[in-house]
Amino acid sequence: MKKSTKIFLLLFLLTAVPAVVLFPYLSASVGLNENGFVLNFSLQGYIALALVVISGVIAIILYFKFLKTLSISKLLFFSTLPFTLIYGALLYMVASLNSLNTQTANAVKTLLNITENGYNAILWAVLLTILYITVLFIVYLFVTKPVYRIEKVLKRLGDGKIKQRKLKIGTSKQFSQIGHALVKINNNYHNIQTNDVFDKVKIPKILQNVLHEGELLKLQNGQVVNLEGFLVCAWINGEKKVKHNLDILKLRLNELAPLAKKFNGIVAQNITDYLMVFFFKSEDALDYAHALCRCVKIKNKHHKAKTDVNVCVDSLTAQCYLDKEGNLLCNEENLKFAEKIIDFAKYIHAMLVFSSDVLDNLPSNYFLKYRYVGNLPLQKSLNLFESLEVYGKNKLNMLEKDRTSFEQGVLFFEEGQKDRARVIFENIIRKNEEDRASFVYFNQCRN
């Protein structure tokens, strides 16, 4: 039994018991004569009325909770049981009115215009029956509504995979289980279809979930497809020692490349000095880039030799294909632009740089501290930003504090106002000697 049900049950007992004790005061407050109802409530009568109403509402809530635990057969019975009992009681009352000669019975006969011939009593019985049938129809309509939903879902499953992760069939326990089973059928249907069609080449799971069947067929046949997403390009370098180079290679192969899978990324297996990882969501790409920087920083604490890392994140439309092992390969021309951004990041000594395309595609609730670091006028005019989240707390706070001044200096520099920019960068350097990007811009302003 759920905790909420236990609470409602306790409240029901706390209100129902005193309601039964005080019910005589309530019945004494309500009278019936030939002119209609006569109300004469005392204080105890009002209290009894309030307790009856509250306990009645709680009882209805408990009853609906009880219905949700039943199978369809029991649900049909118990959902109509209260209306059947009420109908039977009212029908018996109408039929037995003529045989009663009490004050209350005579008052009811007067209100319902029931005479001794009993003709009106039959009309009231017919009216009650019609009302009862109408109520049954409405109840059956609501109870069997999930069956109609199941029919629609099964028709849709017959045409292919449904994109919905959850299928809400009904609120009762049995219909919830049916909905869960249909979700499993939906997922298994997709897996069976994928395994049958694409058994020649091992298609990475992330591509199976994102690409449509036509694109997957092209990849399976070794053809090129255009992928639109976001590319993380990482340059990892250190001291020119054989042992340290081996440590960097192990870090890249054993930790950084497998880490991409956690963030729904797929490594581009091109032979290059850069680690290239492709993502379909900008937030996944940035999350992986931050995790990559943290991983390198952690390794630096354990290695005597220092490892440098520069990472860029940019939008990408790449011509890609799969080799026989299912590794993703991209057209080299699509990757060269990312290398230019890495060169810019090295130049300003920024650990993680991302483009305005990445920033524009982030969710509105994505928390990120960053600053504008310049424009890259190559194939396209590209605004670049530096993530401040990759630095320690002290450095982050200092860079964040001077963010507005730094960005203003960069804008002055790009507009050719180098004297104004130099003053700004000089002031920043005096306060924060660790802002190496300001040093670079300051030196450029002096040249």
Backbone angles phi, psi at 403, to 5 degrees: -60, -50
Q: Which residues pair with 317 in a beta bridge?
A: 228
Residue 198 is predicted with a pLDDT of 46
Backbone angles phi, psi at 106, to 5 degrees: -65, -35
Residue 13 is predicted with a pLDDT of 87
Tell me the C-alpha distance between 255 and 250, whole Å.
Answer: 8
Tell me the C-alpha distance between 180 and 178, whole Å.
Answer: 5
Query: Which residue stretches of 144-265 are H helix?
Result: 145-157, 173-197, 205-210, 213-220, 242-251, 257-262
Tell me the C-alpha distance between 369 and 362, whole Å.
Answer: 13
The helix (run of H) or strand (run of E) holding residue 411 is helix 403-414
pLDDT tens track for 379-431: 557 899 999 999 999 999 999 999 999 999 999 999 999 999 999 999 999 99
Tell me the C-alpha distance between 214 and 223, whole Å.
Answer: 11
DSSP 125-165: HHHHHHHHHHHHHHHHHHHTHHHHHHHHHHHHHTTS----S
- Identify the segments of the chain with pLDDT beneath 50: 190, 192-198, 242
DSSP 296-323: HHHHHHH-SS-EEEEEEEEEEEEEEEE-
Residue 180 is predicted with a pLDDT of 66
Tell me the C-alpha distance between 191 and 382, whole Å.
Answer: 41
Torsion (CA) 215, 219, 225, 227 in degrees, nearest 10: 80
Q: Are strands 275-279 and 328-330 parallel, antiparallel or unpaired?
A: unpaired
Task: Look up tokens 């497998």; give the residue.
Answer: 258
Class of residue 260 by CB neighbours under 10 A (exposed 0-12, middle 13-18, buried 19+): buried
Class of residue 196 by CB neighbours under 10 A (exposed 0-12, middle 13-18, buried 19+): exposed
Sequence-distant (6+) residues with CB within 8 A of 123 are: none
Tell me the C-alpha distance between 9 and 139, whole Å.
Answer: 25
Residue 404 is predicted with a pLDDT of 93
Tell me the C-alpha distance between 265 and 262, whole Å.
Answer: 7
Residue 345 is predicted with a pLDDT of 93
pLDDT tens track for 18-46: 888 888 887 777 766 555 566 777 888 88
Backbone angles phi, psi at 257, to 5 degrees: -65, -50
Q: Is residue 316 a contact partner of residue 338, using CB atoms and an 8 Å limit?
A: yes
CA of residue 366 relative to chain centroid, distance: 14
Token pair belonging to 167: 């299928």
Residue 45 is predicted with a pLDDT of 82
Tell me the C-alpha distance between 393 and 371, whole Å.
Answer: 16
Task: Look up tokens 């969501």; give the residue.
Answer: 281
pLDDT tens track for 417-434: 999 999 999 999 999 988
